[in-house]
Amino acid sequence: MAKLLICDSVAAPAVEAMRAAGVTVDVRDTITPEELMGVIADYDGMVVRSRTKVRAPLIDKATNLKVILRGGVGVDNIDAEYAASKGIKVLNTPAASSNAVAELALAMMFALARELSKADASMKAGRWDKKLFEGAELAGKTLGVIGYGRIGRTLADKARALGMTVLAYDPYVKEAGLVPLDDLLKASDYVSLHLPHTNETHHMLSTAQFALLKKGARVIQASRGGTVDEAALYEALVSGHLAGTALDVFTEEPPKSEALLKLIALPQVIVTPHIGAATVEAQEKIGDEIVALVKEHLS
């Protein structure tokens, strides 16, 4: 009977469905990297989310591993090419959380436009600063979507429904209607990233790109840490060139460096702890897709 190790949280009904499919499932969703190194040789498959990193040293220990299942979009936390060189399949669930992430990006745009976090903090501090919070409407504004895969396209559809003009750029997609990155940046009031973090996308938005944005533009980062140069973002915000940003992902998670904490502390910054896929619906879909993959590759 195949043995599967679940290293990060997966919906309980999905776990039971895997067991019902004839797979021995061990749930250790708080396992440490050191503990994982010691037990991985016992397993035919493993399920990870964002927390667990699967790098070459761990793969070398995984002498019986046949498949690595990543619940979510992208496989940035897995050395996928190295795993493939060892005969290990790396699979993910790209469709399951697309709507959840797109909705979070949209919520962040609304929050920035109407200064919701500042207004909320003001009320909770006992003030009634009604005249301080004159926001802006999204209708009539231009959204630049960087990364036009499932999430980017879903966000674009929602933004168009609100009356926004949408421009899109993707370094990996060649199709009619996409625009060069510089053109997108010059025209956008809001920019939202939806890309994997690779050598090609590292610091895709940095000092030069922020300078191209309109004064008063806002940036949404709900893709992967590293695609935005956070030091350059800080400078663009404190200079007043950018009006605000909303961040769900960071180069360091959780953020601990002085530079990141300075960025997070700015009043024009809204932050969330990598919750893009954290909806009931997305978790159920991720669980269902993982079950299907387990049945296909381990049952």
DSSP one-letter string for 233-297: HHHHHHTTSEEEEEES--SSSS--SHHHHHHHHSTTEEE-SS-TT-SHHHHHHHHHHHHHHHHHH
Residue showing tokens 């990141």: 260
Would you say 141 and 164 are in contact if contact means Cβ atoms under 8 Å apart?
yes
Torsions phi, psi of 247, nearest 5?
Answer: -125, 125
- Are 20 and 134 part of one and the same domain? no
pLDDT at 189: 98
- Are 249 and 114 part of one and the same domain? yes
pLDDT at 174: 86
- Are 166 and 206 part of one and the same domain? yes
The tokens for 287 are 């669980």
Residue of 70, 194, 224, 230 with catalytic role: 224
Amino acid at 262: K
pLDDT at 238: 98
Per-residue pLDDT of the chain (299 residues; tens, 9 = 90+): 899 999 999 989 999 999 999 999 999 999 999 999 999 999 999 999 989 999 999 999 999 999 999 998 878 889 999 999 999 999 999 889 999 999 999 999 999 999 999 999 999 999 999 999 999 999 999 999 999 999 999 999 999 999 999 999 999 988 889 999 999 999 999 999 999 999 999 999 999 999 999 999 999 999 999 999 999 999 999 999 999 999 999 999 999 999 999 999 999 999 999 999 999 999 999 999 999 999 999 97
Q: Is 253 annotated as catalytic?
A: yes
- Are 62 and 191 part of one and the same domain? no
CATH number for the domain spanning 25: value is 3.40.50.720
Q: Is 224 annotated as catalytic?
A: yes
Would you say 90 and 70 are in contact if contact means Cβ atoms under 8 Å apart?
yes
pLDDT at 75: 87
- Are 158 and 111 part of one and the same domain? yes
The answer for residues whose C-beta is within 8 angstroms of residue 173's C-beta and 6 or more apart is 148, 149
- Are 14 and 79 part of one and the same domain? yes
- Are 287 and 232 part of one and the same domain? no
Total domain count, the chain: 2
pLDDT at 175: 87
- Are 144 and 261 part of one and the same domain? yes
pLDDT at 113: 98
- Are 46 and 110 part of one and the same domain? no
Residue of 16, 137, 252, 253 with catalytic role: 253
pLDDT at 209: 98
pLDDT at 253: 92
- Are 13 and 158 part of one and the same domain? no
Residue of 115, 197, 274, 289 with catalytic role: 274
DSSP state of 46: E
- Are 250 and 143 part of one and the same domain? yes
Domain that holds residue 286: 3-94+280-297
* pTM score, whole prediction: 0.89
pLDDT at 95: 85
pLDDT at 72: 86
pLDDT at 74: 78
- Are 7 and 133 part of one and the same domain? no
Amino acid at 121: A
